[in-house]
A and B are shown apart, each in its own frame.
Chain A
Amino acid sequence: MSPTIVFVLFFLALVFVIAAAASASTKDLRGYFAAHRRISGFQNGLAIAGDYLSAASFLGATGLIAIFGFDGFYYAIGWLMAYLCLLLLLAEPIRNIGHFTIADVVGFRMHGDAVRIISSVSSLIIIVLYLVAQMVGIGIIVRSLIPGLQPAVAIVSVGAIMLALVVFGGMLATTWVQIVKVAMLFLSSLILAWLVLAHFGFSPWALIQAAGTLHALPHAVTNLFAAGSYFHGPVGAWDRLSLGIGLVLGAAGLPHLLLRLYTVPTGRDARISVAWGMICVSIFYVLLLIIGLGAATIVGGNLIGAHLSDTDAIRYIVAHPQHAQMLNAQLSSLGYIVPHRDANYAVPILASLLGGRLVFAFVAATALATVLSVTAGLTISGASSFALDLWHLICRRNDCSERERVTVGRIAALLIGSIAIAVAVNFHGHNIAVIVGLAFSVAASANFPALVLSLYWRRLTRAGLIVGMSLGLLTCFTLVLAGPDFSKTPLFPLVNPGIISVPLAFLATIVVSLFTKDDETDKKFDRLAVQASTGIGAAE
């Protein structure tokens, strides 16, 4: 049996053991959705890092650094700085105010169900976007593990394992799988960074010099450390800024990260867990930079992508005669062709090249663990939004037993996971980091303004919140659909809508609030402030 299969089977066996062990304690609401709030700050920090370090970071961002240099690293820096916003502004108050979901926080001062419903819908949209990105990652990983396997088959089979974990193991199993995954991720990254540095005689300067001499970069950029190879020209520069707004504010609105804050006993623990998460993430991004530069110099940006050899390669060349000369040259010199550049392949190719079968096997198993655990975290977060907000409020009009909500949560997990699998099957080929960038934009536009203003602005009214959240969400989606990613003749020139949608959401919320009056919201602000600051009255 190949080492790849051994590592994968070992991890999957561990997943099943964890799910089985946790299943006994997932009968009630607190057990299924919040792991009985008994996770420690440090453990939750590792799990938060696990949720955050998705396939987008491990595969997508590393590949983007390898191919696009600075512009790829920009993603990582944005994700890191976003953690600070979450730590400073939201971690502690969210734990002290809410019970299970974002809607608990934005709905704390609001009468009626409209606010909670909009908040849940936006959370579900973010979760499905993020899930699709992870599922695309699963296709890539399993395809490199078992050559010849169709991405659709890979996505469906791994998706099914993830669903089993979430449905039976709930939040507790998801948390422990995240912790195991973070340990594997760190080990893989350390091994890869070590191998890259060893290749350059343990001289980071030699690596930097080698990366600096690379040419043939996209859009005629002459230096891998310069901006412009991914976001090029003046429009690209605006797009970079727009993405930055989405990244730095988006993390604080990601439902699956915020849900984690409810698994610890107190607000202080929530803050500590975000701090530990940030330490893990920042170390990981430094390793990621080394690995990305290593892939750029050792593999070469032009050779990052799916490799075709033998009859597959010949069949492809015959079907694409316009590139026949270049592809034939590749086939005769390398023994394979790379028809399309695909950043997501950088890590597996580098691992195989530097570490041989064993390191490749471990890295591939790690990548599989990464996407599986993150999809599990996203699915349970979506299930909580559906069961605790939408089902409980709309379908059952606040009259729903704990047992029913847990059952609905399990069914919702199955539904959300299945939708994501179906979408991902038709979505492969897109860069994971780019899709995640879009999810961040939605989170920054719809959730972040609502959370910040709910927690810190007394004058906020229900009407203001509803208009702001709806406008943020709608603008974000309209601009994405009118943008270059979805339209051949784009009405909006940027891929990332954050530069318009985030300020608009803030502005709309503030203006409408100033022109409307809401005594109840105002009255409840003191209660919110006392509970958020002291934890008195917080959910146990």
Chain B
Amino acid sequence: MTESATTPLSDDDVARIAASDQFITLRRRRAAFLIPATIFTIVSFLFLPCSILLAPHAMATPLIGPMTAAFLFALGLILVSWLLLAYSVRICARLDVETAELVRTARKQLR
């Protein structure tokens, strides 16, 4: 690609940043949030078809008026997605601050 890019890093620079405590901590914090949150998203959604597969009658039982357990669970997933979105925005804002600090440090060292 002929695209321009910000500050191309040499292999040594990359190795230095990758080995720094600041970067390792950032990666660990990021993973500690992103991986469980993604697994939770996938599992909570797939719980719906799995439960219909394994317990069709229970999931077809009307719980509130004509609304079945399956339908209420699906509605609940909308709420879950909003909560998770709000939480991820909060966490990522915190991680952005740490990332900006890391980039500042890295740029200083590169100079």
Contacts and interface: CB of A to CB of B under 8 A. Distances in A.
Contacts of A212: 62, 65-67
A77 B23 contact: no
Contact of B78 (A70, A77, A104, A275): A77
A243 B82 CA distance: 23
Contacts of A529: 18, 27
A225 B71 contact: yes
B23 A240 contact: no
Interface string A495-530: 000000000000000000000000000000011011
B65 A208 contact: yes
Nearest to B2: A402
A13 B110 CA distance: 52
**Residue among A77, A238, A529, A536 with most chain B CB within 10 A:** A536
Contacts of B50: 241
A226 B7 CA distance: 56
Interface string A305-332: 0000000000000000000000000000
A278 B106 contact: no
A85 B62 contact: no
Nearest to B36: A88
Interface stretch (A244-252, A359-367, A410-418): A244-252
B45 A78 contact: yes
**Interface size band for A:** 35 or more
Given A87-B88, A534-B99, A536-B103, A249 B78 contact: no
Given A223-B66, A282-B81, A537 B88 contact: no
A282 B45 CA distance: 15
A244 B6 contact: no
A286 B56 contact: no
B72 to A, nearest CB: 8
A70 B23 contact: no
Contacts of A282: 78, 81-82
A248 B14 contact: no
Nearest to A244: B49
Interface in B1-28: 1-9, 11, 14-15, 17-18, 23, 26-27
A226 B70 contact: yes
Given A84-B84, A89-B34, 7 more contacts: A84-B41, A227-B56, A248-B41, A537-B6, A537-B8, A539-B4, A540-B4
Interface of B: 1-9, 11, 14-15, 17-18, 23, 26-27, 30, 34, 37-38, 41-42, 44-46, 48-50, 52-53, 56, 59-60, 62, 65-68, 70-71, 74, 77-78, 81-82, 84-85, 88-89, 92, 96, 99, 102-103, 106-107
22 contacts: A73-B71, A73-B74, A74-B49, A78-B45, A80-B77, A81-B41, A81-B77, A84-B41, A84-B84, A104-B1, A224-B66, A226-B71, A227-B59, A227-B70, A285-B78, A527-B14, A535-B99, A536-B7, A536-B106, A537-B5, A537-B6, A537-B7
